[in-house]
């Protein structure tokens, strides 16, 4: 019996089994890491890139990513318009980046805070819901709704819109 050959065969088999176990563990680890990746962390990795975004009302809405946080995404298009999309309204995105580490900030911006800023600045905009579009200005923002002046003038018709119904905002400078 050739002991050297048997010993080599055992070493090769052990080495193969060990490599297979390491590769399997690495693959499981990579899959486990991906399960911890948040959608917004992948969106943040696309900062200053051109994206196509589909929302509940359709799409694609295209533009360069200007702002990304947990609450909303801001795109800037070739017509110099800004599209603000609450993250809850995003259905699909083309060409998402790899994830960035989660933000460590203790102060998390909210979509309501952004809307309050628009109301304070009396910004003219188009507010798009799944069923219709409204032209005008946001006048007040509550915890789950906003008051909107259709047409934008003080004597315009005031309507209240549930924040959860907002698909996106289009702001023209």
How far out from the chain centre does Cα 161 lie? Answer: 22
143-166 CB burial, b ≥16 within 10 A, e <16: eebbebbeebeeeeeeeebebeeb
pTM of the model: 0.74
Query: Tens place of pLDDT for every residue, the chain, 173 residues?
Result: 566 666 666 666 767 676 776 676 666 655 545 566 788 888 888 888 999 999 999 889 999 999 988 899 999 999 999 999 999 999 999 878 777 766 666 678 899 999 999 999 999 999 999 889 999 999 999 999 999 999 866 677 899 999 999 999 999 87
């Amino acid at each position: 019996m050739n002991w050297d050959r048997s010993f080599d065969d055992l070493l090769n088999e052990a080495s193969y089994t060990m490599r297979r176990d390491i590769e399997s563990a690495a693959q499981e680890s990579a899959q486990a890491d991906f399960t911890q990746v948040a959608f917004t962390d992948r969106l943040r990795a696309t900062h200053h890139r051109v994206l196509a975004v589909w929302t509940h009302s359709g799409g694609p809405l295209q533009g360069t990513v200007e702002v990304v946080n947990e609450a909303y995404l801001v795109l800037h298009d070739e017509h110099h318009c800004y599209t603000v999309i609450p993250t809850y309204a995003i259905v699909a995105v083309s060409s998402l980046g790899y994830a960035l580490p989660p933000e460590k900030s203790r102060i998390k911006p909210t979509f309501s805070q952004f809307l309050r800023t628009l109301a304070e600045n009396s910004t003219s905009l188009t507010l798009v819901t799944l069923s219709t579009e409204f032209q005008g200005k946001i006048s007040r923002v509550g915890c789950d709704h906003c008051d909107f002046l259709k047409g934008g003038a003080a004597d315009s018709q005031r309507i209240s819109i549930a924040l959860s119904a907002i698909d996106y905002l289009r702001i023209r400078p």
